[in-house]
Structure 1
């Protein structure tokens, strides 16, 4: 036996071979399992870190071109920037106003639209410093053809305060209203703003029918598209969905508001175009996974 186990012998007995290399095989399996588990732990940690920290400030620009024969020639290459869902000062609020401001102004918007949920319904009443910070942020956005906004569901509990902030920021808040926007001379486009739609409580007659003009509708909730019949709305911009906020394979979005039929991106619905933003922040839980925050940059082509 000693001779068989002697490492200087050119050959090992079968029993010694199995004992030595059997142990080596078990060790390799253990190391493989440890390696796989370590990789899974590291990957899980990186995914958690991305979802809870990195992605919250990774503001993407989602660019679109909208072409319509109803657009006046004077609106060729006019750029609309749409932002929404800031949910300012909610618990766990992680908004980076300076970075958002730089990102928006780099797009050089002609028209700036805020699509609702400036504040969060669970946030405390804003302090004077917070009001000043928000109004200064919004005021520093440059848009020569105007800055406009609608209320979101989370704005409603503090609607008067939100109205005050928009007034301080040179925004025009549209509450079930339509106005004309001109670019120097020529024909205008119609801009309509809808207060969050409540079944049976919102009259959509203010939109009009077959006006012949290009109508841009701002609605915090994209659900409105299924309730439009003959109302005039060529382009609808919405937010509120947060892109699902956390999207899991085979499970889908973890954050849900409304019917969630149109979660994120551009949709063609009959003659209408709907574009839904992921928004800028989070609500209910402070994570984003496969649904980074974004803003919309839309170029108009007659």
Structure 2
């Protein structure tokens, strides 16, 4: 009897070790290497159907190799976007990783992104931290991106007005911004929760990142690890009065080189005019 018990315990232990090893390999090497496209469609007061590609939280550096910029650019262009928007946190910790980062090459690669109605970006907390604030805007602009910092940009061809909010963790977002309500108003803010301090009555679309969906999704632990301003809206779509809020799980990693239950993603939002 005792022998059967010991044998059962040994089988259980071996199975637990194999499962644990498999989960480690998945979270450390396999899931972070994926890059999927999630697609959403909605009607909005646009003058023509418009395809927005939104990517966020690349965190290029120690945990997400700068060499991955090629596949990110390729994946974006495969979606045939009209508009491309970056949601912040381009580098992870620039001061730590700058010897491995070629800013000119990044700008050149970003310049290969093809979006006939424009490319736009906002600031994230990692774009301010660790010395990145000195290089972020110039690098993005050299790559053809218009960086919005509490600024508005109208895309007249499709009737979209973009509001790019400043970072909420290390800077000063203008939460008193007034949305005109003419055409389609799109708010882009790195941290999703800050938008609740704004009047979103006239806003059709809010795009955010920051939370990484928790990066590693585990009961109880994930909630405790979520960042400030990214604890209420964690990932996926949430309804607005007149549209939708989408929170991207992002692409790269920070703090730890793991992803589990949050596959790196690029978001496609198809805006269709009312019939």
- Give the structure-2-normalised TM-score: 0.89
Residue 131 (structure 1) shift: 0.5
Partners of 1:283 and 1:201 in 2: CA distance: 23
Q: What does 1:226-241 correspond to in 2, within 5 Å?
A: 226-229=196-199, 232-241=202-211
Give the counterpart of 2:88 among 108, 112, 116.
116
Query: Which sections of structure 2, spanning at least 5 residues, go unmatched?
Result: none
Contact map agreement 2:203 2:242 (CA 8 A) in 1: no
Partners of 2:133 and 2:70 in 1: CA distance: 24
Partners of 1:179 and 1:246 in 2: CA distance: 35
Contact map agreement 1:111 1:146 (CA 8 A) in 2: yes
Partners of 1:37 and 1:290 in 2: CA distance: 25
Give the counterpart of 1:179 among 124, 147, 153.
153
- Is 1:243 aligned with 2:221? no
Residue 161 (structure 1) shift: 0.4
Residue 140 (structure 1) shift: 1.4
Q: What does 1:108-147 correspond to in 2, within 5 Å?
A: 108-121=80-93, 123-124=95-96, 126-127=98-99, 130-147=102-119
Q: How many residues align?
A: 269
Residue 62 (structure 1) shift: 1.3
Deviations 1:30-69 (A, max 9, x none): 332222211110100010111111111111211111222x
- Give the structure-1-normalised TM-score: 0.81
Residue 232 (structure 1) shift: 4.2
Q: What does 1:1-302 correspond to in 2, within 5 Å?
A: 25-68=1-44, 70-72=45-47, 74=48, 76=49, 78-89=50-61, 91-94=62-65, 96-121=68-93, 123-124=95-96, 126-127=98-99, 130-157=102-129, 158-183=132-157, 188-197=159-168, 201-205=172-176, 207-229=177-199, 232-253=202-223, 255-259=225-229, 260-302=231-273
Larger Rg: 1
Partners of 2:256 and 2:216 in 1: CA distance: 9
Question: CA separation of 1:32/1:159 partners in 2, compared to 1, >3 Å: closer, same or farther?
Answer: same
Query: Which sections of structure 1, spanning at least 5 residues, go unmatched?
Result: 1-24
Question: CA separation of 1:120/1:286 partners in 2, compared to 1, >3 Å: closer, same or farther?
Answer: same
Deviations 1:219-247 (A, max 9, x none): 00101221112674321100010010011
